[in-house]
Structure 1
Amino acid sequence: MIRKIISKYLFLSILAFPLGVFASPEQTQNPQEEESFTDVIMHHISDSHEYHLLDWQGTPVTLPLPIILWTENGLVTFLSSEFHHDDKGEVIVEKKGLYFVRVHGQIHYTDANGTLSYNNDHKLENPRPLDFSITKNVVLLFLIALIMFLAFTAVARSYKKNPKAPKGFANLLETLVVFVRDDIAVPNIGNHKYERYMPYLLTVFFLILIGNLLGLVPIISGTLTNDIVFTGTLAVITFLITTFSGNRNYWQHIFATPGVPKWLAPIMIPVEIIGMLTKPFSLMIRLFANITAGHVIILSLIGLIFTLKTIFVSPVSVGFSLFISILELLVAFIQAYVFTLLSALFIGGAVAEERH
C-alpha cells in the first residue's frame, strides 16, 4: 500500500515539476543575472498576500486573498488584487482616507503620491498597519486542516463499519497512529501519562507531515513548514505544554538541582532557565531550516540552467533536482517524527517522577 502511494506521488511530482518551475515568467524571460533568480527563489519560499497557481501563456494565474488591516481609522478590508502592477510599479490603494502600498510583501502607509521614506541603512521607515490578512500560508493551513478532518472522519466511519479489521487508508492511518503511540509517546512520557498528550502529539505529527508532503507538490506552490512563524508557534505550544505540565521534581531540578551546592545556585539557575528557552528555539529552527534548505537546493539546481546560460546542463540540473525531491520525501517523514519525538521527550522530562 505504502509503495503504491509513494510511486504514484513520485510520478505526479515528475509530471508537475515543469509546471511549478519552468513555467515561471521570471525564470524563463529574465535570466540575465543571478541576483534576479535569487529573488525568484526567495519569492517562491516566502509567504504572500495572493496565491500563485500557475502561469498560462506567460500570464500568471493567481488567486486573490483578503487583506485585513487594523488601521488608525479602524478595520480596513479589500482583496489583494487591488495591489496590481502597472508600468510604474505597484498601485497605491486608498481606503477610508488612508493610502497603502506593498513593498517586498509588506503593507505600509503612504500618501497619494506613494512617497517612501528610507533611513541611512536603506530601510523603509513608513509605518505599517496591523496586518491580519489571509495569506498563502494561512490558506495552506486551512487546506491541511481540511485534509486531516476529512481523512480522520473517513477513518472513523470505516471503523464503525468494520471495527476489527481496518483496510486500505484506515489501516495506513492506524499504522501511523500506533507508531506515534508506541514508539514516541509511551517510551518518552510513560505508560500512565501518555494518553493525556496523545491528541497534541498526533496533531503535530500529521500537521507537519501533510504540510511537508504538500510542499513537495510543485503545483501547490508553497510550503507551510518553511515559515518560521508557523514552526515557532508549534515550538511555543510545546514549550507551554511542557512548562504547565512540569511537576515538583521538574522545577526542583531547575531551581534547586539535587546534589549541587547551594552556593552554585546563582550560576545553575540561569543556566537551567536558558536550557528551558533553547529547547523551543531548537525545535523552531530545526524544522524551518531543514524544509527551507531542501527547497532552496532544488530551485538553485534548476537555476544553474539560467546562470550558466546553456541547455546542456539541464540533464544534470533536472536529474539532481529529482533526486533531491525524492530525498525530501524521506525528510518530510523524518522531520515530522523528530519534532514529535522531541516534543514528547520534553514533556516526558517535565512529568517524570523522582526515581530513588
Structure 2
Amino acid sequence: MNNLRKILGLIALLIFMSGATAFASESASAENPKEDVNVKELILEHLADSYTWHITKVGETDIAIPLPVIVYSQTTGWHVFLSSAFHEGAQHEGLSIATEGKYKGKIVEKDAQGNDVKPFDFSITKVVFSVLFNSLLLIIIIMLVARSYKKDALQSKKGFVGFMEMFIMNVNDDVIKPCIGKEYRRFAPYLLTVFFFIFINNLMGLIPIFPGGANVTGNIAITFVLAIITFLVVNLSGTKEYYKEIFWPDVPLWLKVPVPLMPAIEIVGVFTKPFALMIRLFANILAGHSIVLGLTCLVFVTVKLGVAMNTSMSIVSVLFSVFINMVELLVAYIQAYVFTMLSAVFIGLALVEPHHTKEAHK
C-alpha cells in the first residue's frame, strides 16, 4: 500500500511539473499577444534534436544547458567547444547552425563557393546526452539489483529489488523463453537489455524537466540502430534450415524456377522485419509526444478568441494532456514489450530445425 502511494505521489508530481511548465510557457506567450503561434514549428522544434538543452524561459532570458560540440572539418580540422558559442545565431570558428535548407538545425561551414557544407559531427546533442544518461541510470539500477542478489541470493527480495525481479522474470519467462525455445539463454541478455533500454528511455521522455523530456525512441536514428542490431542477431544466428527456407523454400518448383518468385519474396521479408520494428517504435512514440504538444498548443491558439473560450479550452487542454500522459505511461511499457517480443519471435524463426529432426523429437 505504501509503495502504491509513493507511485501515485510521483505521478502527481510529474503532472504538476508538466502543468507548471505549460503555465510558464503560457505566461511567456501572453506577454506577446500579437504574435501568432506557429503550432507546426513549435511541435517540430520540441521533437527535433538540438545542441542545447533548453529548460525554460524567464522573461527574456533563456534557461538552457550548453552541450559539447565536437566536429571535424576536412579543411580546418577538429573543433571542440560548448554550444553556447552559437548564441543568437552567431558563428564560431567558421561554424554555424543552419537556419534553412537541407541542413536546417545542423552545424555547417561555408566552402569556397559560399555553399553550406556539413562537417563530420560527433557532438553530444540532446538525444545523445539523454541516451548516455539513461543508459548510465539503467546500469546503476541493474548493478544495485545484482549487488543485492550477490549478498544473499536465497533470501526473498522485497521493495524495489523484488519489483525488478518480478519485471525481469516476467519478460524472460513469458516473452523470451516461449518465443525462442530451448536456446533462449543465449539471447536473453540482449533482449532484456533492449527491453529495459527502450522502457527507461520511454519513461524519461515523459518527464517534462531536465534530464527528462528528450525524444529518444521517437528519433528514427535510435530505432534504426536497434533494428539493425536485431537484424544482425537474427541473421548471424540463423540455421542452415532458415537460409534454405529463404533461398529454396518448400514450394512448387514453378515458383522458384525459372523466375525466383518465392525466394525474392523471402529475401524482401528478411529486410521488412527490422524495418517494421524501426517504424513501429518510432511512429508510436513520436505520435504520443506530438499529441501532447498539440493539446498544449490549444492554450496559445485560442488566446485571440476571448477570455471565456481561452479559459474553457485551457481546461480541456490540461485535462486531455494529463489523460494522454497517463496513456503514454502504458504505451512506454507496451512498445518496449512489443519490440522485445517481435525480436524474440524473429530470432526463434531463425533457429528453425530441419523437419526430419522435429519429427524425430515427436
Q: TM-score, normalised by structure 1?
A: 0.89
**Matching residue's letter, 2:349:** G
Q: Is the 8 A contact 2:98 2:108 kept in 1?
A: yes
Partners in 2 of 1:41 and 1:216 — Cα distance? 15
Equivalent position to 2:193, from 203, 208, 211: 203
CA RMSD of aligned residues (A): 2.2
Offset at 1:224? 1.1
Equivalent position to 1:182, from 157, 173, 176: 173
Aligned to 1:15: 16
Equivalent position to 2:62, from 48, 60, 63: 60
SS state at 1:352 partner: coil
**Matching residue's letter, 2:315:** P
Partners in 2 of 1:99 and 1:178 — Cα distance? 50
Partners in 2 of 1:57 and 1:146 — Cα distance? 34
Aligned to 1:121: none
Label 1:263 to 1:57 Cα distance change in 2 as closer, same or farther (>3 A): closer
Q: Is the 8 A contact 2:195 2:336 kept in 1?
A: yes
Q: Identity, % of aligned pairs?
A: 43
Equivalent position to 1:137, from 127, 132, 136: 127
SS state at 2:81 partner: strand
Label 1:317 to 1:100 Cα distance change in 2 as closer, same or farther (>3 A): closer
Q: Is the 8 A contact 2:292 2:321 kept in 1?
A: yes
Specify every segment of 5 or more residues in structure 2 that has no aligned partner in the other structure, as ranges.
304-309
Specify every segment of 5 or more residues in structure 1 that has no aligned partner in the other structure, as ranges.
118-125
Offset at 1:31? 6.3
Partners in 1 of 2:6 and 2:157 — Cα distance? 18
Residue deviations 1:223-245, cap 9 Å, x none?
Answer: 31111100110001000100100
Aligned to 1:343: 343
**Matching residue's letter, 2:180:** I
Equivalent position to 1:306, from 297, 300, 311: 300
Partners in 1 of 2:299 and 2:349 — Cα distance? 50
Are 1:127 and 2:117 matched, yes or no? yes
Offset at 1:181? 0.9
> For 1:1-356, what aligned pairs fall within 5 Å after superposition?
3-4=4-5, 6-24=7-25, 27-29=29-31, 36-72=38-74, 73-85=76-88, 90-94=89-93, 98-103=94-99, 104-110=104-110, 126-164=116-154, 165-190=156-181, 192-219=182-209, 220-261=212-253, 263-265=255-257, 266-309=260-303, 310-354=310-354, 355-356=358-359
Label 1:286 to 1:33 Cα distance change in 2 as closer, same or farther (>3 A): farther
Q: Is the 8 A contact 2:175 2:344 kept in 1?
A: yes
Q: Is the 8 A contact 1:53 1:221 kept in 2?
A: no
Tell me which moved more, 320-329 or 23-32: 23-32
Partners in 1 of 2:47 and 2:24 — Cα distance? 16
Offset at 1:158? 1.5
Q: TM-score, normalised by structure 2?
A: 0.87
